[in-house]
Each structure stands twice: as C-alpha cells, then as structure tokens.
C-alpha cells in the first residue's frame, strides 16, 4: 500500500513538472510589433471631401469654401511608452525613410506604419509638420522628399510642407481660388522671405494607450481639422482679402495655426 501511495506521489510530481515545463515552453517572450498612425482630414464635424460641386464648408469669417488640394509632410516621428521610454522612427539621410507626405487624394498615404516597435503600452506621439534643415542641407532627396513631387522651393527656402488650395466665392483671385503654401526651415535676417515655420507637436492619447505586441497592431487615429488651420490661433484667415500666400515669411502667422489643427481622436487597440 505504501509502495502504491509513493508511486502515485511520484507520478503526480512528475505530471506537475511536465505541465509546468510545457507552460514555460508555450510562453512567448514579448517582441516588437507594429503601430499605425492614421491621419484623417476633416472640416469641423464633417469628413473632408475634395473637389465638391458646391462650397459646403464655412470658415470663422462666415465665408464658404471648398478644398481642391491638401497635402503636408510628417517627419521625426516618436512614440512614448507608459514607462517613459521612447521609440524613434528611422530617418535616412537621403530622405527615403522617415518622411511622409500625407495626401488627401491618396488613402494609402494617410497611414504611417511604424515597424519593429518594442512591446508595451504607448500613450503619446511626437512628430514634426515640416522638413527641417538637417534634410534640406543634404542635397537632392528621394522618396517623399523627391523634388519631382513639386513641393521643393529652393535650397534657400526649403520645402512647401503644408499646402492647401480651394475655392471661395469671396476670393478676388482668378476663378475665386485661394492658395496657402506654408514652408521655410531657417531664419535669415538678410532675407525678406526666409522664416522657420517647421512645427513639432506632442499629443497624448487622452488617457488611452496603444498596446504593441507580436500579432497585435493598434492604430492611433489622428485628426487634422482644416477649419482650425484656417481659424487660428495664429491668424483667422479671410478669403476675401487674403487668399494667397507663397513665401515662408508671409506664412509665419498661418504656420502658428498648425499646432491646434492636429489632435488625437481615439485609439484602436485591435
């Protein structure tokens, strides 16, 4: 009887040991994952529609308008984990990585996919709206910064990094158009047009978090509100008397509107 009891104890211990070892083998160490930043362009409470037949939107001056072109550069992306550590998106000196051209007519361009992000809960994103001196001074670029995209002004003034065009009945420009091309990456007291309008924004996830881990791909949904870009706080635009700006210096106050135009709306934990 004692022999049988002893045998049962040995078998039980062995079974527990095997089960514990099996569980250990099944556990997967946390590995890097993917985090997507989705940029959604809106006009107030409405999703932005391009090239509409009428002028469905209204600015703070009560002026109706529609949008015919909207594009902007995002760069220097960083995401912060709840423990304070930061993942920095890779930037290549030739412009082939780390610079993203968000285009309202190209849905694919509106997703920035960060790969090999260390596992963890992310609660904050930092990014630059613009192309800074470190890249402009590199010379000819590729990828999103390719001059063939039509957004490169010159080596002196850099890139147009936020461009919006449209139509408003009150504009006195030909065909009632308005055009705002924000750019510039450096100050130059000797220049009548140079200015550094590049803006870096840090946005929290409103108490939420994006959990990154293997096989789990969260998405941070960001909003860019064109009405906020037009309405301030840098300047409240009027299409009636100020429908065209095309140099860095002329866009300094308009660039001041960028900080309030971008917000984090929500996080898809997926």
The DSSP bridge pattern shows strands 177-183 and 244-245 to be parallel
For the chain, domain boundaries: 30-268
pLDDT at 3: 52
Query: Could you read off the pLDDT of 59-114 as tens digits, one per residue?
Result: 999 999 999 999 999 999 999 999 999 999 999 878 889 999 999 999 999 999 99
DSSP state of 216: B
SS3 category, 30? coil
200's tokens: 């870096």
> Residue 25: pLDDT band by 50, 70, 90 thresholds?
very low
Report the distance separating Cα 245 and Cα 177, nearest Å: 12
Whether the Cβ atoms of residue 174 and residue 103 lie closer than 8 Å to each other: no
225 sits in which H/E element: strand 219-225
pLDDT at 216: 86
pLDDT at 2: 46
Q: What pTM does this model have?
A: 0.88
> Residue 45: pLDDT band by 50, 70, 90 thresholds?
very high
Inform me whether the pLDDT recorded for 21 exceeds 60.
Answer: no
Beta-bridge partners for 196: 185
Whether the Cβ atoms of residue 44 and residue 126 lie closer than 8 Å to each other: no
Query: Could you read off the pLDDT of 180-226 as tens digits, one per residue?
Result: 999 999 999 999 999 999 999 999 999 999 999 998 899 999 999 99
Report the distance separating Cα 264 and Cα 270, nearest Å: 17
The mean-pLDDT minimum among 136-145, 146-155, 250-259 falls in 136-145
Tell which residue, 119, 145, 113, has the closest CA to residue 220.
113
Report the distance separating Cα 226 and Cα 205, nearest Å: 21
Average pLDDT value for residue range 143-157: 88
């Amino acid at each position: 009887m004692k022999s049988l009891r002893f045998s049962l104890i040995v078998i039980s211990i062995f079974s527990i040991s095997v089960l514990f070892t099996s569980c250990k083998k099944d556990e997967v160490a946390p590995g890097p994952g993917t985090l997507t930043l989705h940029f959604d362009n809106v006009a107030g409470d409405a999703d932005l529609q391009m090239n509409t037949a009428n002028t469905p939107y209204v600015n703070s001056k009560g002026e109706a308008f529609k949008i015919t072109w909207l594009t902007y550069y995002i760069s220097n992306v960083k995401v912060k984990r709840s423990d304070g550590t930061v993942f920095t998106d890779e930037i290549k000196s030739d412009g082939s990585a780390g610079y993203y051209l968000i285009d309202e007519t190209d849905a694919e361009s509106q997703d920035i996919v960060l790969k090999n992000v260390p596992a963890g809960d992310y609660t904050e994103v930092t990014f630059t709206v613009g192309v800074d001196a470190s890249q402009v001074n590199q010379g000819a670029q590729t990828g999103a910064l390719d001059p063939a995209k039509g957004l490169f002004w010159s080596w002196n003034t850099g890139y147009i990094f936020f461009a919006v065009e449209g139509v408003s009945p009150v504009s006195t420009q030909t065909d009632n158009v308005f055009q705002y091309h924000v750019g510039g990456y450096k100050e130059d007291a000797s220049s009548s047009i140079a200015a550094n309008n590049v803006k870096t924004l840090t946005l929290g996830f409103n108490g939420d978090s994006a959990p990154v881990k293997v096989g789990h791909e969260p998405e941070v949904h960001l909003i860019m509100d064109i009405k906020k870009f037009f309405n301030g706080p840098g300047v409240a635009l009027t299409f009636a008397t100020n429908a065209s700006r095309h140099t860095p210096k002329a866009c300094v106050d308009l660039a001041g509107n960028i900080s309030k135009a971008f917000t984090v709306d929500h996080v898809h934990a997926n």
